[in-house]
Structure 1
Amino acid sequence: MPAFSIPLTGLAANSVALNTIGNNLANLNTTGYKKENANFADLYYENIGTTGSNSPVQVGFGTRVSSIDTDFVQGNIDPTNSATDMAINGNGFFVVQNRGVQQLTRTGNFSLDAGGNLITSDGQNVMGYPANGTSANTNSSLVLLKVPVGSTQTPHATSNFSITGGLDSSAAVGSTPFSRTQAMYDSLGQEHEVTMTFTKTAANQWNYSFSLPSGENATSANTTGTLTFNTDGTLASPSSNISGISFGGMTDGSADIALTWQLRDSAGKGLITQGASTSSVNASTQDGYAAGNYTGFSVDANGVLSAKYSNNQTEVVGEIALATVANPSGLTRNGENTYVASSASGLVTIGAANTGGRGQIVGSALEGSNVDISTEFADLIVAQRSFEANSKTVTAFDTITQDTISMLR
């Protein structure tokens, strides 16, 4: 007698395959979705005899779904206009947390809540490393990432400045001094135009002086000195940076401005030279700034979050953490495009982007699903035909059974 259970296993297995394909197609436009593939395996066999060569004669008893694998092939990364959107280019998962439960996701369509916390579309907190304003501490435990929405950055008084340029060696001794101004800031964030004046006093020798506009300060110290140059135009002295330059008695009530002139680069090379060309300042820097209001944030390829302020300053406020597992296919899907680790996936290893085989972060972009509609349609046809074939087998078995019963009558 025919075994109805055989085609029934085929119907059940192909029904799962059809559901899997349908789910892939339903999530065609789901951000960060990873497609699934249903795999079949045959069931047990019954030995019903042997051949003349003593080889076994076996009859199979159907099929089953042996696994449903997740395909973690990279999806397309498309740019957006939102700073809260992020994509992972390469391996890894964002780490998110809900009520202390840690989950993983590839979906980076984040947003900010009223407190500035970076959250997923279903309200889970995005996790990362804390920062001190200039860098993140990737050796620290994970924290909830937050940007300082609505905050004001306090002013910072100038403490270091530098000038990159050249003085004209052909200028006559006692000729018109060369002057430039540089904006610097006091402790209240007030801008002051510091005038830098260079006067040639001898061959390869220039005096310098620094001053504020009249009436802005009452006292000053160490604001004058001498630069000497070697015969090749390089700076001979001073041999180190000049500290102790100060302006006191500020009329706006700020603290004294205390400055260090960075005369040389990290290799000890002088930033000011002398040559037979018109005196000029090619670049100048100073580290002070006025107060500023929060205007937005950005994320770089390493996942570093930087808040931006109206005073053109940035502040590192955190760093996105990425997680990896030894066997991503062993992760358990938890809905909302999230995954949790299992014994099959192995332990979660968390670190910074662009390290340990982890991918890089792409800001203002989202990863699309990796579902290929043409492949899914082809698989859909195959699964449909297989389902129909098993249905025909059931019909054939039924006909044979009816004929057998008729013979017995």
Structure 2
Amino acid sequence: MASFSIPLSGLTAAQSQLTAVSNNLANLNTDGYKDQTVSFSDIFAQASESNGAGDPIQTGSGVNVAANDYNFTEGSISSTGVSSNMALSGDGFFVTKDATGQLDYTRAGDFTTNNAGYLTSPSGGLVLGYPAVNGVVNTTAALQPLKVTDVTSPAVATSDFTVSANLQAGTASGTSVTPSSLTVYDSLGQTHELSISYTSAGNNTWNYSVTVPSSDLSSGGTGTTQVASGTLSFNSSGQLTLPSGGNSIAISIPSGGTSGLADGASAMNLSWNLEDASGNPTLTQTAAASGTSATTQNGYSSGSLSSYQVEADGTIQGTFSSGTTLALGQVAVASFANEQGLSNVGSNAFQPTAASGLAVIGVAENGGRGSIVGGSVEGSNVDISTEFAKLIVAQQAYSANAKSVTTFNQVSQATIAMLQ
């Protein structure tokens, strides 16, 4: 009987809404949780009858649940200070892979690390991203789990160095001044002390000699071994006249007939840059006292990972004991044509369906994807006051439909009594 089926459908609909509200309130403190809203549609039976005006007579037959939608608006972002945590500000989903190889998509960035040093979700899924080799991220490579502990940076041999120094004008010919010295690194990360001595040759010219300790070479010995030499010329204003070959001097260690480095590293091919980044000569000849003000070089030894942080574009920057900072990888972010079409598989994870479309995976701050906030998590976007309002409405709807059932039951009992 319609008298009973209609309010029963109302009871079922109200129960669905109560269930959704209860679930929202239960996940009020769940990181990355998205509020659910139940939508309803009416049911009607279209009859072939019509009234005197020719309008069809349509009788309502109740209500059903039309949709259970997610509110994907951003929740509040809170700082945790935990390096492995991250939050998405804007559109997108983190990409994780479970033990079966299934890809899941989540907004919950309360990640930790497993005993192998990889970023994982609380349910154990591996956080995926793009790998980095020697600090360079390859965004064209296949997605891989991201490792953030027990990482060692490779040694990088010095290839360029710069010396900022002044050579005192008027120094007597044949007089040597305080040499410049700096530490450089070979391919194994071993340090070598490079020394550059300067001897006045008069007439605004200086002879230089570059040496390394003889013990650093396979030939061994005491003292130092010369690996380069030449002449530096200055104009009347004390500015360096660059060599005809360009703005740098090539130096090889070892050089000449010396066979190699004592530690077995590859030969070092250095470029002594005579200009800074702005194109200004780094060597001058003025009346000021001779001296070296600064040296720079681009090599470093190997080191163990000391700390890391996640940048806004998802790049994980690691700081190593050697003092270097290198990218460990870049967190992948996925977007979908229709987020409402995603299927909730639990544990704050979603999977694509035909309605959502396939995941478009890239990096943060690109292709409409949001940015990543490192050391933070996105909270639930459930609004407690809104949910309590929904709870009251759903309870009243349930009570009203229950009252209808009771009323129809009383009418039925009275009708049966009349027939007796």
**TM-score bracket for this pair, using the shorter chain length:** 0.7 to 0.9
Task: Compare 364-373 and 280-289 and name the one that shifted more.
Answer: 280-289
Q: Which residue of 1 aligns with 2:327?
A: 316
Q: Which residue of 1 aligns with 2:30?
A: 30
Q: How far is the alpha carbon of 1:214 from its aligned partner?
A: 8.8
Counterparts in 2 of 1:180 and 1:194: CA distance versus 1, 3 Å: same
Alignment partners' CA distance in 1, 2:409 and 2:281: 95
- Give, as a single letter, the amino acid of the residue that structure 2 aligns with 1:220: Q
Aligned to 1:94, the other structure's residue is in SS state: strand
Alignment partners' CA distance in 2, 1:189 and 1:285: 16
- Give, as a single letter, the amino acid of the residue that structure 1 aligns with 2:251: G
Q: 1:290 aligns with which of 276, 284, 301?
A: 301
Counterparts in 2 of 1:4 and 1:286: CA distance versus 1, 3 Å: same
Counterparts in 2 of 1:9 and 1:214: CA distance versus 1, 3 Å: same
Find out whether 1:219 has 2:225 as its counterpart: yes
Find out whether 1:65 has 2:46 as its counterpart: no
Q: Which residue of 2 aligns with 1:127?
A: 128
Alignment partners' CA distance in 2, 1:11 and 1:64: 10
Find out whether 1:182 has 2:182 as its counterpart: yes
Aligned to 1:383, the other structure's residue is in SS state: helix
Counterparts in 2 of 1:199 and 1:375: CA distance versus 1, 3 Å: farther
Q: Which residue of 1 aligns with 2:282?
A: 272
Q: 2:383 aligns with which of 328, 350, 372?
A: 372
Q: Which residue of 2 aligns with 1:345?
A: 356
Counterparts in 2 of 1:351 and 1:54: CA distance versus 1, 3 Å: same
Alignment partners' CA distance in 2, 1:359 and 1:71: 17
Q: How far is the alpha carbon of 1:144 from its aligned partner?
A: 2.4
Question: Root-mean-square deviation (CA), in Å?
Answer: 3.2
Aligned to 1:62, the other structure's residue is in SS state: strand
Q: Is the 8 A contact 1:92 1:359 kept in 2?
A: yes
Q: Which residue of 1 aligns with 2:315?
A: 304
Q: Which residue of 2 aligns with 1:15?
A: 15
Find out whether 1:78 has 2:78 as its counterpart: yes
- Give, as a single letter, the amino acid of the residue that structure 1 aligns with 2:339: P
- Give, as a single letter, the amino acid of the residue that structure 2 aligns with 1:62: G
TM-score, normalising length from structure 2? 0.84
Q: Give deviations 1:191-212, integer Å, cap 9, x for gaps.
A: 4443445667667765554445
Q: How far is the alpha carbon of 1:48 from its aligned partner?
A: 8.7
- Give, as a single letter, the amino acid of the residue that structure 2 aligns with 1:339: F
Q: Is the 8 A contact 2:83 2:309 kept in 1?
A: yes
Alignment partners' CA distance in 2, 1:2 and 1:214: 103
- Number of residue-to-residue matches in the alignment: 405
Alignment partners' CA distance in 2, 1:386 and 1:275: 92
Aligned to 2:7, the other structure's residue is in SS state: helix
Alignment partners' CA distance in 2, 1:282 and 1:396: 97
Q: Is the 8 A contact 2:32 2:108 kept in 1?
A: yes
- Give, as a single letter, the amino acid of the residue that structure 2 aligns with 1:138: T
Alignment partners' CA distance in 2, 1:133 and 1:206: 40
TM-score, normalising length from structure 1? 0.86
Aligned to 1:84, the other structure's residue is in SS state: coil
Q: Which residue of 2 aligns with 1:336?
A: 347
Q: Is the 8 A contact 2:211 2:225 kept in 1?
A: no
Q: Give deviations 1:21-63, integer Å, cap 9, x for gaps.
A: 1111111111111111100111123449655533334321111
Q: How far is the alpha carbon of 1:130 from its aligned partner?
A: 2.2
Alignment partners' CA distance in 1, 2:311 and 2:109: 14
Q: Is the 8 A contact 1:2 1:401 kept in 2?
A: no
- Give, as a single letter, the amino acid of the residue that structure 2 aligns with 1:241: S
Aligned to 1:222, the other structure's residue is in SS state: strand
Q: Is the 8 A contact 2:211 2:227 kept in 1?
A: no
Q: Which residue of 2 aligns with 1:145?
A: 146
Counterparts in 2 of 1:292 and 1:40: CA distance versus 1, 3 Å: same
Alignment partners' CA distance in 2, 1:85 and 1:361: 10
Identity %: 38
Alignment partners' CA distance in 1, 2:15 and 2:235: 86
Alignment partners' CA distance in 2, 1:229 and 1:26: 80
Counterparts in 2 of 1:197 and 1:116: CA distance versus 1, 3 Å: same
Aligned to 1:391, the other structure's residue is in SS state: helix
- Give, as a single letter, the amino acid of the residue that structure 1 aligns with 2:114: D
Aligned to 1:75, the other structure's residue is in SS state: coil
Q: Is the 8 A contact 1:34 1:70 kept in 2?
A: yes
Aligned to 1:131, the other structure's residue is in SS state: strand
Q: How far is the alpha carbon of 1:274 from its aligned partner?
A: 4.7
